Amino acid sequence: MGFPGAGKSTIGKVLARKMKLQFFDSDQEFECHYRTSISIFLQKFGEKLFRKCENEMLQKLLQKDNIILATGGGTPCFHDAMSLINEKATSIYIKLSKESLFIRLTQAKKKRPFVTKSNIEGLKEYIENTLKNREPIYQQAHIIVKGESIDIETLIKKII
């Protein structure tokens, strides 16, 4: 888990491959299940319904055994999901500085709903405000790693 752009999916895929486990990305699973992008879902139905459906998807994914799961950035922060995650899994928070997140989000190939040319100036404020709200929840993870310098082998040892 971690803020959008923290590298959850990238690191999750590497962990899954090295640990010979199946990988799931909750955002991808959501989009596949609802046959639409999260951006369009949010535009049509709003965040309240999105968070409810996202939590239902999380509950289904957490029923699977021996998987690596990358959650959406906000997933742990709604509907007491962090407690559920910690109860059912070993949680890992990929922590990055506000500055690193800003650079990653502005340079990312994958476009995110809140990163557009029109709001690039407000991006730093968005990161700061959103991270301030989410950080206390992310900090409840079993393992916290610095995203700027992750050592996959050490992380695997911690998980095991």
Alpha carbon distance 29, 138 (integer Å): 21
The pLDDT-based confidence of 153 (bands split at 50, 70, 90) is: confident
Query: Can you read off the two tokens belonging to residue 140?
Result: 């409840």
Residue 160 has pLDDT above 80, yes or no: no
Sign of CA dihedral 37, 133, 156, 87: negative
Q: What is the mean pLDDT of the chain?
A: 92
- Domain-wise residue ranges, the chain: 8-155
Alpha carbon distance 135, 118 (integer Å): 26
pLDDT value at position 157? 82
The CATH code for residues 8-155 is 3.40.50.300
pLDDT value at position 57? 97
Query: What is the pTM for the complete model shown?
Result: 0.91
Span 81-139, pLDDT tens digits:
999 999 999 999 999 999 999 998 888 777 666 665 557 778 888 899 999 999 999 99
pLDDT value at position 155? 85
Span 38-55, pLDDT tens digits:
999 999 999 999 999 999
Alpha carbon distance 137, 74 (integer Å): 10
pLDDT value at position 100? 94
Span 58-77, pLDDT tens digits:
999 999 999 999 999 999 99
pLDDT value at position 151? 85
Alpha carbon distance 82, 105 (integer Å): 24
pLDDT value at position 118? 56
